[in-house]
Amino acid sequence: MTTSDDPGQGERAAERRAEARQPSEDYHSAEFRIDPSGYLFQTRIWNVSSRGMCLLLREDSRVIGKLAVGKELEVNYYPTDASRPPETRQTRIVHITREAEGKFKDHVLVGLHIMDEPEPPPPSS
């Protein structure tokens, strides 16, 4: 069962998650700051669909209260391939879903949408 801060959000979130999820082939974790002088938060990327990806955060994490649907963040994504450098991407929060029971009990899924294309790597010399 899912719950949300937005009435009716539960049905929309369920529809979004109806799509098959798969592990990210590109990124394994992400880090971001809520504000420029704030703490740096790092978490694993839990699942990915063609519409975006989710971060899995503990419900008691201090960052949860600072996140909101529609908020845009500059996120550093760490590639699965450790030989590649992290990518900084402009990202929007598209849903925040609290899990009341099941595998993710006491956790929050934060749905993300990457808004920009990655910067091409610098030319090698």
The pLDDT confidence band at residue 49, using thresholds 50, 70 and 90, is low
Kindly state the average pLDDT of the residues 7-34: 59
**Is 119 part of a structural domain of the chain?**
no
Measured CA to CA in angstroms, residue 41 lies from 6, 9, 32, 52, 112 at distances of 24, 26, 5, 19, 15
CATH number at residue 60: 2.40.10.220
Q: What pLDDT sits at residue 1?
A: 36
**Is 125 part of a structural domain of the chain?**
no
For residue 108, the enclosing domain spans 2-114
Q: How far is CA 111 from the centre of its chain?
A: 5
Could you tell me which residue, 16 or 34, shows the higher pLDDT? 34
**Is 63 part of a structural domain of the chain?**
yes
Kindly state the average pLDDT of the residues 68-86: 92
Statement: residue 3 has pLDDT above 80 = no
**Is 21 part of a structural domain of the chain?**
yes
